[in-house]
Amino acid sequence: MRVLIVDDETLARSLLREHLAKLPNVEVVGEAANGFEAVKLVEDLNPELVFLDIQMPKLSGFEVLELLGERAPSVIFTTAYDEFALRAFEVHAVDYLLKPVEPPRLAAAVERAAERLRNKTPPPSAHDLAVSARPPGRTLERILIRHEGRVHVLPLERIDFIEAQDDYLSFSCGGKRLRKQQTMADLESQLDATRFVRIHRSFILNVERLARIDLYGKDSWLAILGDGTKLPMSRTGHAKLKELIG
């Protein structure tokens, strides 16, 4: 089995590599020290199993899984301690290992991964995992977008508005547009409702960007943004916005 190790700590990687070397039929094909490298190496090396640390610079383990999407191989998460992530793993029956990893547990986890490979079990939904691993009361803080082979990390405060286009969402930030495959309802449910309001079937607005509201016709309004952009607003959208900003 071809294995990739992802962890930002050199010592953690070397320990895992040392343990894995003793297991039969396991070949460590690469090591990644951060999320970006991990995404790239999974695509370049095409491993069958990835040991994925959760807390890493730039991209968390969950975000790596999200970016890999359907190309994600079988995954075993590793963590020293993260109560919310552990709860998410239990809920979604995802395999994980606690650091320092004990060799017998490691062997068992690798065995289960091989089993999943034989049965072609699909990888866990990164989205579901990320949602249930978020501490209570905390909403989404940034959006990950792959665009022309590059990964864009988009902090929410940089987003002006989001527009639905067929199966995609188009994120507008400072005149630039980035597209991502996701549904409006799914994104809306993850956003902080006091900062982002769905003003229309196809538009979510960053409330901070709103400059004024113009009446456009009976039961329809236009949201005018600070940069002059005009967005249509439905009756319910207008009511939601009114309630929020008074």
Partner 1 sequence: MHPILKRRSRLVLYLAVWIVFGLLLTVVFIFGGRAPPLWSLYFAVPMAMLLGMQSLSYWYLVQSMPPGETPIVRMVISWVAAGLASLVAWLVLGYLWAQYLLEPGENYGDETYGILGLMIFAGAIGISLAVLGHYLVGAFERSRNAERRALELQVLAREAELKSLRAQLDPHFLFNSLNSVAALIGNDTAAARQMCFLMAQFFRKSLTLGREQAIPLSEEVGLAQTFLAIERVRFGERLRSRFDIAEDVRDVSVPPLFLQPLVENAVHHGVAHLLEGGEVCVTARRREGFVELIVENPCDPDRPPSRGTGVGLVNVRSRVETLCGHRASVDVNATDENFRVSILLPYTGAAAALRATA
Per the CB < 8 A criterion, the answer to whether 225 and 211 are in contact is yes
Using alpha carbons, select from 224, 220, 246, 243 the residue that is nearest to residue 233.
220
Which CB atom, from 29 or from 86, has the smaller least distance to partner 1?
Answer: 86
- The answer to whether residue 115 forms part of the interface with partner 1 (CB under 8 A) is no
Which CB atom, from 157 or from 214, has the smaller least distance to partner 1?
Answer: 157
CA gap 238, 13 in Å, rounded: 52
Choose, by CB under 8 A, the member of 22, 69, 92, 100 that binds partner 1: 100
Q: Which of residues 35-64 bind partner 1 (CB under 8 A)?
A: 36, 55, 57-58
CA gap 113, 105 in Å, rounded: 12
Piece of 11-19, 44-52, 171-179, 214-222 that binds partner 1 (CB under 8 A)? 11-19
* Residue 240 φ/ψ region, left for φ over 0, alpha for ψ in the -120 to 50 degree band, beta for the rest: alpha
CA gap 46, 23 in Å, rounded: 20
Piece of 154-162, 170-178, 196-204, 205-213 that binds partner 1 (CB under 8 A)? 154-162
Choose, by CB under 8 A, the member of 2, 9, 107, 114 that binds partner 1: 9
Using alpha carbons, list the distances in angstroms from residue 139 to 77, 130, 192, 196.
Answer: 22, 11, 6, 11
Binding stretches for partner 1 (CB under 8 A): 8-12, 14-15, 18, 34, 36, 55, 57-58, 80-82, 98-101, 141-142, 153, 155-157
